[in-house]
């Protein structure tokens, strides 16, 4: 149980931070758009990376640091492009989330009839979340290398440690994705979405810059 709790705590500490993946999950949750597939992909990807780290993939990354460099530049370019698109949405506007809080006819519970000005297809959303997850070099440095190294200190119980970290990932992405819908009531106007997209643009571009700064330095 101690190994499980240790993995749960470390997993949450690595995941619960402002990052490109979390920002994207939050945005999809607010839009109430393809939330379940996004949450499943994030949690499943984390599980695979955690298991890979515990299985010893971290040694491969240590032996071939150029893999992290490639992921760093590819991730920076992708984040920059996504940030520019968010900035374009913020500048042009046109998006609005409407949430009907009134009870539906026939006694159906309230809660949530939602419509958006534009709805993104499933495939681009899935490709975006996959790119934000697997092109992030911190995933390999933190989740695979560091978490895998710490798991090794638990000896035979390292897989229980991994289970705790996987549970942390599932809990976090589920809470973030499905909990974000309650923010929708404050995002009913086009102006509020323009502000949100502006914040997303700043975060994404800033993350892109921080990814390449160590390489440039």
pLDDT tens, residue order, the chain (217 aa)? 666 777 677 666 666 666 788 889 988 998 889 999 999 999 999 999 999 888 876 666 667 777 777 777 887 888 888 789 888 888 887 555 544 443 343 444 444 444 444 678 999 999 999 999 898 887 887 778 777 777 777 777 888 888 988 998 999 999 989 988 887 677 667 777 788 788 878 888 887 888 777 655 4
What b/e readout covers 102-124, taking b as 16+ CB neighbours within 10 angstroms? eeeeeeeeeeeeeeeeeeeeeee
In the chain, where does DSSP find H-type helix?
A: 2-15, 20-31, 35-55, 57-63, 66-92, 122-134, 137-138, 147-152, 158-179, 190-216
With 0-12 CB in 10 A as exposed, 13-18 as middle and 19+ as buried, what is 185?
exposed
Task: Name the pTM for this structure.
Answer: 0.71
3-class state of residue 116 by DSSP: strand
Rounded to whole angstroms, the Cα distance separating 122 from 110 reads: 26
Say which DSSP state 27 is in: H
Please, what is the Cα angle at 15 between 71 and 215, to 5 degrees? 30
Q: What is the pLDDT of residue 48?
A: 93
Q: What is the pLDDT of residue 105?
A: 38
């Amino acid at each position: 149980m101690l190994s499980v709790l240790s993995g749960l705590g470390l997993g949450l500490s690595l995941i619960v931070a402002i990052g490109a993946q979390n920002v994207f999950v939050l945005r999809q949750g607010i839009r109430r758009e393809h939330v379940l597939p996004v949450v499943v992909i994030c949690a499943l990807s984390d599980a695979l990376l955690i298991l890979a780290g515990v299985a010893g993939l971290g040694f491969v990354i240590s032996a071939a640091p150029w893999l992290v460099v490639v992921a760093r530049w590819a991730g920076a370019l992708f984040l920059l492009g996504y940030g520019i698109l968010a900035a374009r949405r913020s500048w042009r506007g046109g998006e609005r989330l409407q949430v009907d809080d009134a009870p539906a006819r026939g006694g159906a519970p309230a809660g949530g009839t939602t419509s958006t000005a534009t709805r993104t297809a499933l495939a681009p959303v899935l490709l975006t979340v996959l790119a934000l997850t697997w092109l992030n070099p911190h995933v390999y440095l933190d989740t695979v290398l560091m978490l895998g190294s710490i798991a090794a200190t638990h000896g035979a119980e390292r897989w229980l440690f991994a289970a705790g970290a996987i549970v942390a990932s599932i809990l976090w992405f589920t809470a973030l994705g499905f909990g974000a819908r309650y923010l929708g009531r404050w995002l009913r106007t086009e102006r509020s979405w323009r502000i949100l997209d502006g914040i997303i643009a700043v975060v994404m571009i800033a993350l892109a810059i921080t990814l390449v700064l160590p390489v440039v330095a």
